[in-house]
Structure 1
Amino acid sequence: MRLAWFSWLVRNFGGYGFSDGPLRAAIGAGAVLLTAFLVRITLHRHRPAAVAAAGLTCALGFGWLAFH
């Protein structure tokens, strides 16, 4: 499954916001992951909500990066 996802990502590399170059893509991905981590730490007392919120943050962040 992971290999299929990775091959799909490689095929569509230019169409999902990563065509600006690897540095800009890495900065954007790092910002999304850092934001998700901060959301997770903020909600640490409610573990299920924290995991769900961090996952939603990642999905929305990467989705936004992909199409803008």
Structure 2
Amino acid sequence: MRFAWFVWVVRHINEFGFSHGLLKGAIGTVAVLLTAVLLGFALRRHRPADLAAGGVTAVAGIGWLAFH
């Protein structure tokens, strides 16, 4: 399953902000993932909220990068 997901990401790489260059796309993706990790870490005492907030942040951020 992970391999299939990776193949899908590689095939659609231009949709995730990488069409503006590998560096800009990588910076945007790392920034989104770092934000999700920090948000999840801030809520670490509440495990369900931790996972939900981190997941929603990552999905929303990567979705935003894909369409802008």
TM-score w.r.t. the length of structure 1 is: 0.89
How far the C-alpha of 1:32 sits from its partner, in A, is 0.5
Mind listing any 5+ residue stretches in structure 2 that lack a counterpart? none
* CA RMSD, Structure 1 to Structure 2 (Å): 1.1
Residue aligning to 1:28: 28
| Distance in structure 1 (CA, Å) of the matches to 2:10 and 2:54 | 25
Higher helix share: 2
C-alpha displacement of 1:63: 0.4
Gaps of 5+ in 1: none
1:18 maps to which residue? Answer: 18
Write the distance in 2 (CA, Å) between the matches of 1:22 and 1:5: 19
Deviation at 1:14, TM superposition (A): 1.6
36-45 or 53-62: bigger deviation = 36-45
Residues 16 and 29 of structure 1: is their aligned pair in 2 closer, same or farther, counting only changes over 3 Å?
closer
Distance 2:27 2:40 in 1: 20
Q: Deviations over 1:17-61 (max 9, x none)?
A: 211111111110111011111111211110111111101100000
State the secondary structure of the residue aligned to 1:19: helix
TM-score by length of 2: 0.89
